[in-house]
Chains A and B, each alone.
Chain A
Amino acid sequence: MSANEVSEHNRRDFLYIATGMAGVVGTAAAVWPFIDQMRPDASTLALASIEVDVSSLEPGMSLTAKWRGKPIFIRNRTEKEVEEAKATPLDELKDPIARNANLAGDAEATDVARSAGEGKENWIVMIGSCTHLGCVPLGEQGEYGGWFCPCHGSVYDTAGRIRKGPAPENLHIPQYAFVSDTTIRIG
């Protein structure tokens, strides 16, 4: 083979490309577990469901449970609070979506859609984590008699809907169900 002859694809080309491909794919495969380990681990995910006894909650009383490291507000609302929330026209709301994981994603933020549903409208269950930057709002405060976040001044009404301040969304409602009249399973 003379020196200036254009060479055909030869063994060296094959080795070059094969090494390069193995390098790229191998590096990607090696990097993956280093990234993957950052995600919530099995024991964290295992805490995804809790049961809470609410038999001691009279109307006007609340309790805070801990679920997935976050507070869950469970409140047995008074009739007055329910009426107030129901009387609010939907076009006054900053966030018109229910944010209720038990309903369709585009359900309207009516009071019924925010509560535990027909017949259990006095019950409201929410993730107590302000949708602004995650602080815990304080109960029975603020000008709407609902919740007030001390961090950056977001005001929620008695149905946990954002009315004023920087938070963009209503307080989120987790997946939950009454497993009996006095027990709620969250998650």
Chain B
Amino acid sequence: MSGHSSYTPKTGIEKWIDARMPLPRLAYDSFVAFPVPRNLNYAYTFGGILAIMLVIQILTGVVLAMHYAANTGLAFESVEKIMRDVNSGWLLRYMHANGASFFFVAVYIHIYRGLYYGSYKAPRELLWILGVLIFFLMMATAFMGYVLPWGQMSFWGATVITGFFTAFPVIGESIQQFLLGGFAVDNPTLNRFFSLHYLLPFMLVGVVILHVWALHVTGQTNPTGIEVKHKTDTVAFTPYATIKDAFAMVVFLAVFAYFVFYMPNFLGHPDNYIVADPLKTPAHIVPEWYFLPFYAILRGITFNIGPIDSKLGGVIAMFGSIAVLFVLPWLDTSKVRSAAYRPWYKLFFWLFVIDTIFLGWLGSRPAEGTYVTMAQIATLYYFCFFLIIMPVLGLIETPKRLPNSITEAVLEKNKGGAHAQPAGAAAAPETKG
């Protein structure tokens, strides 16, 4: 998609197609000849893993929809029918339910990777923003999907989350009724959530295509954060990246399979095997694990901020925690991209990782006593990381010396090892290319 094409059609059919609609040329240039930095590590394999997870979710979802009934009187029973009567239905449903969790495992690692190596920095701002948009669509899709089995957590999760909108003054209640299609979560809600849950993954595919397009315009970052300067800094996508991605996928899917076959309900909640009851709230409502950090932020705001009451404040903080990601490229003032050369940023980054995991754990606890205080401190660090540490640190931090090129960094790393090369090669990157 960028640079000149090295595709040469060989057979007559290839030439015929290439002159009319050069799709094979696009595929060749994007996934075979496309140059990738030679020093990509396994943290860079999660894009491919996410692509395969999206495919798994769509395939299992489409077939589950053949057996599912989006009606409050039938939904719960139809899911149990899938589990007991439909041939291989149990497997498809467990793949879909655990697939959502593993989709989020992969996307969180992918986002952490982007934060660590500064993947959001110029000229990759749009690439990053498209990624955040994908994350947001994923969350909307997952939330609506969780309502479909029509268990207790489905119902009350939907009640609580659409209840966020009642926090907005004056129009809040009307917005909630508009979203629910009624005065409470009921059949119209279930129907529209099913329709949107089917639609959004295909919108995701569209944004993913834009994300990959943007990636192929700027090229990938790499652990050094130095742009590709020379042909020797790269290797061809196929076979190098293809085989590395494929191997990582196999390992990831092996763990996924372990969950599907040996602990399929570990990440779920037992209350969702009780049919939804609008008159009885479960003792302890928790969202799926991948929403817990945001849930902790929501509940952490227990105080009024000026004219904003605690309920609206919590909702604003929760949406703000995702919205801040959209402007991240302009919050980081550092000229150095990779945390490998930023000792202080590296420290704050790992604190941020611990902080978000801690928030997740707090989200699973009841909102009382010291849990609330801890959630407030963790929320404070979450926002400080983006709004204070990132802008300030970039101005005052002294980064380590950067290598001159990716090749130099690779050769320096391998010095004395099995791949030892003449020392001169490091100082003067290859010229024969």
Interface set of A (CB-CB < 8 Å, partner B): 38-41, 44, 64, 66, 68-71, 128-129, 132-136, 149-153, 166-168
Contact = CB atoms under 8 A, between A and B. Distances in A.
Contacts of A136: 279-281
* Chain B interface residue bracket vs A: 35 or more
Interface in B131-182: 156, 159-160, 162-164, 166, 177-182
B367 interface: yes
A132 to B, nearest CB: 6
Contacts of B127: none
Contact of B310 (A66, A68, A168): A168
Nearest to B176: A134
Given A135-B159, A166-B302, A40 B368 contact: no
A134 B159 contact: yes
B21 interface: no
Contact of A38 (B163, B179, B282, B309): B179
B22 interface: no
B281 to A, nearest CB: 4
A22 B309 CA distance: 44
Interface string B3-30: 0000000000000000000000000000
Contact of B186 (A64, A69, A133, A152): A69
SS class, residues of chain A in contact with chain B: loop
B161 to A, nearest CB: 8
B316 interface: no
Interface in B291-307: 299, 302
B155 to A, nearest CB: 10
A40 B183 contact: yes
A40 B189 CA distance: 10
Given A38-B179, A40-B181, A68-B182, A133 B310 contact: no
Contacts of B160: 133-135, 151
Contact of A70 (B166, B278, B280, B302): B278
Task: Please indicate which of the listed interface residues B181, B186, B281 has the most CB atoms of chain A within 10 Å of its own CB.
Answer: B281
Interface in B86-134: none
A21 B180 CA distance: 34
B38 interface: no
A66 B160 CA distance: 19
Contacts of A64: 279
A70 B181 contact: no
Given A133-B163, A150-B281, A40 B309 contact: no
A131 to B, nearest CB: 8
